[in-house]
Every structure is written in structure tokens, then in C-alpha cells.
Chains A and B, each alone.
Chain A
Amino acid sequence: MSAIRFFHMADLHLDSPFKGLFGLPEHILKEIRSSTFDAFDKIIQRAIQEQPDFLLIVGDIYDGENRSLQAQRRFQDAMEKLFQHNIPVIISYGNHDHLKGTWTRFALPSNVYELPSETSVVQLKIRGQQVRIYGFSYSERHLKKSVIETYPIAQDPHAIHIGMLHGSEASDTSHALYAPFTKQQLLEKNYHYWALGHIHKRQLLHQNPPIVYPGNIQSRHRKEQGIKGFYDVTLSQAACELDFIPTSAIVYSTIEVDCTDVVHANELLKRCEEAIAANRTTLGASVVELHLKNIDEQTEALFEHATVDAWLETIREAEEGLEPMCWVQKMVLQKSSIYYEHSASTQSVVSLMEQWDSNDWKDILKDLYQYAGGARLIEPLTEKDMKNLTHSAQALLAEEIQRA
């Protein structure tokens, strides 16, 4: 039995806007905006170069209603290219590109199999090896019910069985549940490979048979940190070889800068620049958050006369024009804890804040969150947000008290 080779990718989110960025200069914005396309182009080029037997795209090619015509056309062009190289592509649409969408649909060439909303099987014969690929496409935006039951249990012992599923594990509460499944349910199907999508973080749920989230191909906000890409899979009945191929055109990362013994401004700048340069070499073009660590009172003095934003601006200026580009999105000061002492009064304020539960928070912030005009535009308040808010509020309090 010969091994087959395919690319497994998901969550392309082509031309999707980047969240959490502002104040970018035009050229960087442009580079960031084209990064999903760049990442996708890398995949297509590699496919043409490597000639895998087929490609699996497990949902979320576009970014929902926000899909642009350009994105669709780029995708169509890419499929045409693969068509010319005779590489089949199997697509199962996800929650962001479900079948009910009113958007214009571009006709795709005949090498592309678009899975219907009913779970079905695509059969391929590759060098004599029968390959069965199971999957479905989202018929609507929200698919809360489990669909794993509709996947047949693998029967043919000679064929290679691959499941495509865009959804999340039932136990994973950090994401909205879509087509939930459990690991056990997947394993019961006796497939050789589970190609999952939807979760943007690369994960290997199970080793053998592999149950894989390849992650998205390009991160789109600061929470999606690290190098993104897809899996180049070589699969046979007996074995599976996973090769992660990075595609990120721009990497989000956090850089920690040790500020021990930094007294002068140029020292601080030098540390930051060195840290960014190191980041640039390892990750290439990137959007970074600078976390300044080990700031003692000496270093702190640097920030007494210039705000953090002013420092950020200075660092950005220093990075301006360097290639590959590096956009410093944020600068966070991590001060030594011993420095500030809460007084009893502030302590009580602080402890009060710590006692707040989500209802308290909602109550406190209700002015805004109940504001009819902005409801849609304001991100819902999460637990994490509250935690962050608590921290920043404490920090602010401390800072203000200190200043007074």
C-alpha cells in the first residue's frame, strides 16, 4: 500500500481584517492586510512545487459576511492554478463560510470538491490506493448540534479513511461550541486521520491516529501568537508523518525585555531594539508587544518624565523602515512588586475590586454596556476582561496614589 500525501489546512480567513491594531502607518497596514493572501499564496506555491496528492481545507476560507470579492477571486485563481497542476482540493465549509450565506459564489474549477451540508464521502484513487474522505459543510452560521454521529464508521480495510470536521471539542469551553465532538467519538470511527478546523491554535488532539487542528494559516490578532501554517501529511495505513509548514507572513509575538540596571534612555532603547532584532531574525515580519521586565525604581525614573506612549513612539520610529517590518503594538511595564505598598485605604479599595464578581462588573460598567448606541460595536465583557480590568484598575490606582 503506497502512502498518500496531502496538505491539511483550515481557517484561511482570507482578507479578514486584523483586530486590535491601530495607529499603523499605511505601508505596514498594507503589509498586514495582505498577509492572509501572502500566507495562502505560500501554500499554493508549495503545492505546485511539491505536488501533493490533494489538499484539504477544513472550513473558514473567508471571514463570514466580511468576505471580499477580491478574496474570493484570489481563492478562485489559486484553485485554477491547482487545477492546471491537476491537484484535487476538498473543501468543507465552516461557520464562517456556510452554505446559507447570501454572498456571491464564484464558480470553482472541477478539481475542487465542495462537500455538501449532508455528511458525504469523496473517493479518490491515488496510485491505486483508495482514499475516502468524509465530511460536510455548514449549512448555516451556527451549528450547535453534534454532527459526528453522521460520520460512518470506516469499513473498507484497504482504503485510507480521512475525516474532515470543522468544529470544537465538547470539553473546550474557551470557544463557542460548533459541531461539538469528543475525542472518543472520533476514535470510534476508525479513521486514519482526522482533519479538523475551526480552532486557530495548532493542536494535536491525538497521536495515533492523528487528530489534528492545523491552526489558522496567518494570525489575525495578538491573541493568535506564534508561527502559523499547515500540515504536510504523508499517510499510509500503518503510519503517519506530520510535517508542519509555516506560512505566516506576519507573526504576532510578545517580546520580553529585561530592564535590569537600565538607567539611561539609550540603554532602554538599545535593549528594546536588540530584543526586536532577535525577534525579527527568528520570526520575520511581526507585530509585537514589548514587555519590559525587572523595572526597578531607577528604571522607573525613565518613565516619570515621558509616558509609555512616548517611549513606544520612539521605539516605533527606530524600527521604521527596517525589513522585515516589525510593528510594536504595545509596550507593557512590569514593575517590581515590592515597589508599591498599598496603604490600608487603597488596600481596601484593591481588595474590594478583587471581590467583584462578573455581576458587579457588569453593574459597574453598565453605563457603557447598556448604551444602546454602541452595543453592537463593543466587545462583550469576558471573565478575562474583568480580570484584566481589575489588574489595570489596581495599577492605575497605585500609579495615581503614588503620584499624589
Chain B
Amino acid sequence: MLTIKKIQIYGFGKHENLTISLNEGVTIFYGLNEAGKTTIQQFILQMLFGFPTRQQTQRKYEPKASTKFGGQLTLLHPIHGQCIIERVKGKAAGDVTVYLEDGTTGQDELLAKLLYGYSRASFESIFSFSLHELQGIEKMSEEELTHLLLASGTTGIQHLSALEKKMDKEANELFKKTGKVPVINQKIEQLKQLERTIKLEQGKIQTFEDKLQQLQLLEQNLENLYAIQKLQQQQWLQLTVQKQALPLIKQQQTLQQTLVNYQHVQFPPEGLRRYEQLKDRLLHESQQLMQLKEQYQSLQNKVLATVDEQTVNEMGRLMQKEAIWHQLTVKEQNLRDDLFMLEQEIDAQFRLLGVQEKEAQEILLGETVSLQQEQQFQHQLKKLEDAEEELKFHLRSLEQVHHELDAITQQKQRLKRESLTKEEEHILAQWPQQKRRLEQLRAAKSQRTKQKQPDIFFWMVLFIGLLSFAYGIFQKNVAVAVIGAVLTMLTILLMRFVRQATETPNKEQSHLFRQLEQEETTVQSIFLKKERLEDRWLHVNEQQSEKEQQYTKLEYKIQQAELESEEASQSLQHYLKRYRLQGTIARTLMPELFMRIRGVQELAVKRKGNSSLLQETQDEKKSLYEQLQQVLDGTFNEHEIYVYLRTAYLEAQQQQQRVQQTKDQLADIERNLQGGQTRMDRYTTEMTQLLNEAQVQNEQAYYERYEQFEQQRKITTELQTVQAQLASLNFPHDKHLIEDSVIEDMRVLEQEQDSLQLEIDRCLEQRAALQIEKEQLLNDEKYGKLLQQFEQEKSELQQLIEHWATKKAVATAIHETLFRLREEKLPHVLLKVNAIFRLLTGGRYDQLVIHDEGYFVAQDVAGFRYQMVELSQATKEQAYIALRMALAQTLTTSAPFPIIMDDPFVHFDRNRTDKMVQLMKEVGYEHQILYFTCHDAMLKHWPKEKIIDVGALANERGVAST
């Protein structure tokens, strides 16, 4: 039994610093209205279960006047013993501290433990009730009442029952055993569907292996097919070869047949060429022979018609003399020319000498012209010349004198012309008068001259001015130049002024003076002239007389010289006569003459020598010429004869050489002829041999044989080619082929190949398709995704199941709880309820029975059953109290809480109140009972110590009631 021993209020509602000690069993809290009974009741509840939070509707008892809020409860706990619960203001529910007997303290958790985990609601629903709850029973429906009763009269029961229904409904919405609509059912269906899809996909994956096998099979198939194809290709190749070989073989056969015809043909190697070569050579040789023979004949003739050798030798000898001949000719010519020249010269000399006649010439030639003679002649000539020289000199002197005389005469005449004119004579005559006047004037003038002295000063100044001006200009001294110029100007002006001043008064006087002076000078010059002319006249006359004397002397000398010259020329003339020289020869030519004569004489001697030489030469030449003519056998001009000879000689020589050559040629030809003949013989033999080799008689047959041979050879070559081609085709020689069969074979093979190719294509196609499928399978994530989806769905399902299971569990739990209450606890409770109910009703009613439909009905002693509404108010309340009390009693062990009642018995009569007190006393042994009342009627039932006057508490304050 959990007992509250002491209530200690720090501050709660109107109470402050209040301590109440309680006894076991029943405690009656008495007080008038407003005394604070409910406050104490609430204090106990709030101390145990906490101050109400904001959300809760209960009243808060935080004191208005005091800051203290809370208090202490001292409990005697059946397990933990004495313990104190202190709750003060703090968090919403207040800060709680529990102090246990053993000294341990704790908070909310420990408190919850102390309170057996009961909440205020559940506590209130059983252990705390008031009239209000009892009154409420009337209004409750039967059903509610039943639930209340079933749930030990707790408040939460209706909720539970509602919840059960709700949970049931929700669970059913989630799942129903036989349904299609609920979510889980649907989900399961979905999952099944998905599973099927996965299976399908799995099936597809299973085909992967099949596909692999199929692929392998196909691969094998293909390999086989390829092998067959290869074989076929080889066959085809062979057949193609055969087909190619067919015409070749045919050709080979024909060729072989033809070759049989030509089997015996023999022909020397290169026979035709060799034969034709020989033939050519033979022809060529014979032609050559013919030519040679002709040549030989002509040469033979040529050799016979040639000159004799003697003449040629003679000619050769003469030819050697050709130089001599020419020399002679030249020599003769020269001599003739010389002779002619000499003759000419002699003639010229003679003509020069003037000797025309032959005799004179002969004489002259015979005269001596020695040096003595010449000297004599020179001497005479000299004399003559001297005489003539003297004469000449005298004549020249005479002439000079004559000239001089003429000059003197002319001088005389000039002098006469130069004598004084009449005017001059007049002037001279007048002069003495004039002279006098002049002297007068002169005297006057000398006086004035003194006055003219200052003039010099002016001139000086003028000079200085000019000088300074010039200096200024030269030195570029402007000042000086200006000064100079000004000075000059001033001087000139001054001078002019002065002169004018002086001149004007004696102008006439001076004029006269000047005239006189001029006259004086003229007279003086005329005087001088007259004197000079008189002198010269005297002198010329002297010269004339001197010259006339000279002239007469010279005339005499000339006469003498002429005589002398006459004499000399005569002696010379005489001398010349000796040389029969006619005419006169200039004296200057005289020495020349002698030289010429001497030259003529020399020339004559020369001429004589030349003539004799010429004679000799001519003789020699003539003999030679005769010889030549003899040799040449004809008359030829002397000049050309050697030309002819040379020609003739050369011709002869050449002829001789030619003959020699011809002879050589002839010998050669003879040799050639012999050689040609032998060759021809040989050729002929060879040709015959060739013919023999070819086994023929004549050329015609030989050619035919050649043709045959060629044919044979061609065939053989062709045959070889064919064979080679066959060999290159790798074709077995021994195999016999039939064309038709080959073609047929090929056709068949082609068909086979086509069908095989088709098969291969089909296989390839299949393989490709399979490959793609395989790849698709490999790369397909669908399966994985499906699995994931499946898992997801499953999770969702699981989640749903969880929801369902939870709901189901809750529903079941509630259901079961209710069921248990009804089935297990209820009979036990009911027994107690009935006992209490019987007690309270004083045996009027026997029991409370649960109706078949789950409602309570009351059964009286007589066995009649009454529904709740049919009962009186007090009986209903009694039924209710009976239920509560019974419940509390059944819970004595699991929840030994105090029962708190707030004046619930007001409707009870005295009898029933007594019964109630009896019950309280009974229950008071198992539960502490706190009874709050304002009716003093209750007080008389209890001893004083069990009564606490709340109104008095407020006055006594802090004093425990006992």
C-alpha cells in the first residue's frame, strides 16, 4: 500500500508554507467552499504527475502572491519505503527530485518507477473521482458505460475501442485475405507480375548459352562450308585450267599430225642464207673477173703506144741546160741594151760637144785630153775672166759717181724752193717798228706781274684742296674728302672772282701785248730759217765739183780694161779650135767640155768590149738552139722553145710513169684473175655441197625444200609454245579430256558453288543475328534493373506489411486486452463489484451482469434485471462506485495508490452513507483514502484524528493537524 505520510506545501494556489501529516487508512479533508480542499487535492496530483503543461487544460496553481511554487510529498512506498517527492518551479512540468530511504535521489524516471508507470490520466480514471464523474454516468450511453466498466472505468477505454476499429479498418485497407483491392494484395500481384517478367528475362538469359552453342555450331558449320568452298574453288580452278587447255591440246594434236608430213625434210642449217650468200659471191666474182679482163686488155694496148727512151733522155739533158739557155738569152739582151745605151750616150755627148760630122768625131776621139792640156786651157780662161772682172768694177764705180751727181743737183733745186716767201720778207721788213712797241709794253707788264703774286697762294690752296679730296677718296675718309671738295670749290670760285676783277680793267692792253709778242716770235723763227738755207747752199756746190773730177778718172780706166779682155778671149778661141769645136762656148762650160770629151772616149772603149762579148754569146746560143730544134722535131720560136721542151719532156716522163703503173696494174690484175678463178671454183663446190646436203639436184628443188623446212620448224615452235602453255597450266600431259564433260562438270560445279554460297550467307546472317542478340543480352541491363525494381517493390511491400502488421498488432492487442478484461479480469472484478454493489444497496440488488450484447444490467435479489437507465440516480452512482472500488481492489498489488474522492456521496441517504463509510473502512485497509467533503454529515462517522479541517489549516498555517 502506497501511503502519503506528509504533505508539505511551499506555495501552491492559496496555500503557502503548509504542512499536513496524514495517517494510514481514511483521511477526511473537511472544509467549506473556498477553503482550499480542491487545491490540496490538485497539489497531491500535481506533485505526483507534474504541473500541467501549456497544452493541458488543467488549472495551474502557481501562487499569485508568492514566488514559491511547489512542495513535498512524503510517501511510504511498499517497495522503496519512505521517500520524499519534491517538485518546484522549473521546466513546464516542474523540477522533480525524489529522495529515497536509502539515500538515492532521482528525477522523473525514478518517480515514474515509484508510480508504477501510471500516468495521471490512468490514475484519475481509477483512483480519483468526484460527484461530477458519477453524475456523468447518467448521460453515458450504455455502450460507453460498458466500455468504462470493461476498462476498469478508465477514461481511455473508448479511445482504445475506437482505435481498435480504426486500426482494423486501416489494416483491412492494407490487406485482406480474400481481396484484390487492398494495397498489399495489389502489391503482391504486382510483384508476382514482376517476378514473371524476371523469369522471362531469366529465360532469355538462359538462351544465352543456347545462343553460344548455336554460335559455335554455326562457326563449325561455316568452317566446314568454307572448307568445301575451298575444295570447290580448287576444282573450279582445275576445270578452268582444263577449259583453257582444251584448245591448246587440240592445237597440239593438229600440229603433231602436220609434223608427221614434214618428218623427213632435211635442210642444212642456215642453208638458204648460206646458199644465197654463195650465189651472190659467185656472181660478184664472175663480174669482177670480166671487168679485170677488160681492164687488162685496155692496159695492154696502152702500154704498146708509148715513146722511145732515147729522145726522152736527150730531152732530159737539154732540160738541164735550160738555165744556161736563159742566161745566154739574158746576157745577150743585156749586152745589146748596154751597147745601145753606149751608142746613145756617145751620140749625146757628141751632140753636146757639137761634133756632128763623123770625121770630126773620129778626130775628137783620137785627140788627147790630158791634164796638162786642161791646165793650159784653164789658165787662159782665168786670164779672160780677170780682165772682164776689172772692166766690170770700173763700170760700176762710174755709175755711182753719176748717181751722186744727180742727187746733188736735186738738192740744189730743193734748196731753191725752200727760200723765204714774200710775206715773210714783209714781216721782216716791218719788224723793227713793232719791236719798239713791244719793249714798251714789256716794261708795263713787269709792274703788274708783281701784283699777280697772290695767285700763287690760290693755286697752293687749290692744290691742297684737291690733294685732300683725292686723299679722302682713296682712304675712304668722307670727312677729309668733303673738306677737300669744299676747299677746292671755294678756291676756284675765289680765283675766278679775283681774275675777273684784275682782267677786266687791262683787257685791251694785254690783247695788244699778246699780238706783239706773237709777232716777235714769228720774226725770230723767220730769221733762223734764212740763215740755215744759206749754209746748205754753199755746202752742195762744193760736193758737185768734187764728183765731176772722179768721173773723168774712171772713164779712162774702163778703156784699158776693155783691151785686156779682148786679148784674153782671142787666145781662148784659138785654143778651142784645136778640138774642132764649132761655135762659141761659154767660158763657164769650158772645163766641162774637157770632161765630156774624156767621157766620150771612155764610152767608145766600152762599146768595143761589149760588141765582142755579144758576138760570143750569140754563137753559143745558136748552137744550143739548133740542138733544141733537132730534139723537138719542129720549128719553134726561140723564146717559147723551152716551154715546149718542158711540156714535151714532162709529157714524155708522165707517159713513161704511166706505162710503168699500167704494167704493175697488169700484174695485179693477172693475180686477181687467178684468185677470182679459185674462189669461184670453191663457191661452186660449196653450193654443190649444200645441194647435196639438202638432197636435191637443183636450185628450184632446194628452195622448195627450204619452204618445207621452214614449215616444219614453225610447227615445231608452235608445238613447243603449246606444250609450254600446257606446262604452265600445270596440266598433266597424260590426261585425256573430253570437252563436253569438262563443260558439264563446270556447270555442275557452278551450281554447287552457288548453293554453297547461299548456305554460307545464310549461316553468316544467322551468326550475325545471334552475335547481335548475344551482345544485346550481354549489355542488357534490363535484368539487373528488373531485379532492382523487384527488390524495391519488395521493400515497399515489406514496408506496407510492416504498417499492416503494426496496425494489425495494435488492433489485436486492443482487441485482446478488451477481450481479456472481459473474459479474464471481469469475472473476478465482477465478483467484487457484486459484493460491493450488494453491500452498498443493502442487499437490494444482487449483482451486475453483463448482457449478451455487452451491456451491464443490474439484477435484483428477485432475479429481475434492470437496465442502467432504469436504475435510480443513487443506485447508478453506487454501481459506479462499486466498479471503481472493485477495480481498485483488484489492482491492490499492481497499483496500491491512495483513492482520492471529492464529495461523491451527496445523493446518498443516511443508510447508504453508512454503508459507504463501511466500505471505505474496508477498503481503507488496502488503500489509503483521501476524502474531501464540505458536508459535516460525514464527520460524525469518523474519529477526529482522521479529520483535517482545511479552513482551520489556513489559519493555523504550517501546523500539523492531529
A interface residues (Cβ-Cβ under 8 A, vs B): 15-24, 29, 32-33, 65-66, 68-71, 73, 102-104, 297, 338, 341-350, 352-353, 361, 364-365, 367-368, 371, 373-374, 377-379, 388-390, 392-393, 396-397, 400-401, 404
Contact = CB atoms under 8 A, between A and B. Distances in A.
Interface stretch (B30-38, B371-379, B474-482, B788-796): B788-796
Contact of A344 (B126, B209, B813): B126
A396 B795 CA distance: 20
A392 B802 contact: yes
Given A33-B781, A346-B156, 18 more contacts: A17-B790, A19-B795, A22-B795, A22-B796, A33-B788, A70-B779, A344-B126, A344-B152, A367-B175, A368-B184, A368-B801, A368-B804, A378-B188, A378-B798, A389-B802, A389-B806, A396-B167, A401-B160
B77 interface: no
Contacts of A378: 188, 797-798, 801
Contacts of A379: 794, 798, 801
List 10 tightest A-B contacts by C-beta distance, closest first.
Answer: A341-B119, A344-B122, A343-B122, A17-B791, A393-B809, A343-B156, A374-B188, A17-B787, A104-B209, A17-B788
Contacts of A19: 791, 794-795
B716 to A, nearest CB: 68
Among B122, B788, B807, residue most surrounded by chain A Cβ atoms (within 10 Å): B788
Given A17-B787, A70-B781, A396-B810, A348 B804 contact: no
Contacts of A373: 185, 188-189, 192
A97 to B, nearest CB: 15
B788 A29 contact: yes
Nearest to B154: A345
A69 B779 CA distance: 8
Nearest to B211: A104
Nearest to B891: A344
Interface in B765-799: 777-781, 783-785, 787-788, 790-799
B188 A344 contact: no
A396 B783 CA distance: 38
B816 to A, nearest CB: 6
Contact of A68 (B121, B783, B805): B783
B212 interface: yes
A401 B156 contact: yes
Interface of A is mostly: helix
A345 B152 contact: yes
A397 B817 CA distance: 13
A169 B848 CA distance: 63
B177 A367 contact: yes
Interface residues of B, number: 79
B163 A33 contact: no
B447 interface: no
Nearest to B814: A349
Contacts of B92: 297
Interface of B is mostly: helix
A341 B120 contact: yes
Interface of B: 49, 53, 55, 92, 108-109, 112, 117-122, 125-126, 151-152, 154-157, 159-160, 162-163, 166-167, 175, 177, 184-185, 188-189, 191-192, 195, 202, 205-206, 208-209, 212, 777-781, 783-785, 787-788, 790-799, 801-802, 804-810, 812-814, 816-817, 820-821, 895
B809 A353 contact: yes
Contact of B121 (A16, A341, A390): A341
A388 B809 CA distance: 11
A397 B163 CA distance: 8
A344 B154 contact: yes
Given A374-B188, A404-B159, A365 B784 contact: no
A304 to B, nearest CB: 11
A352 B811 CA distance: 12
Given A104-B212, A373-B188, A393-B806, A70 B787 contact: no
A389 B788 CA distance: 26
A352 B816 contact: yes
Contacts of A342: 117, 119, 122
6 contacts: A19-B794, A66-B787, A344-B126, A347-B122, A348-B821, A349-B814
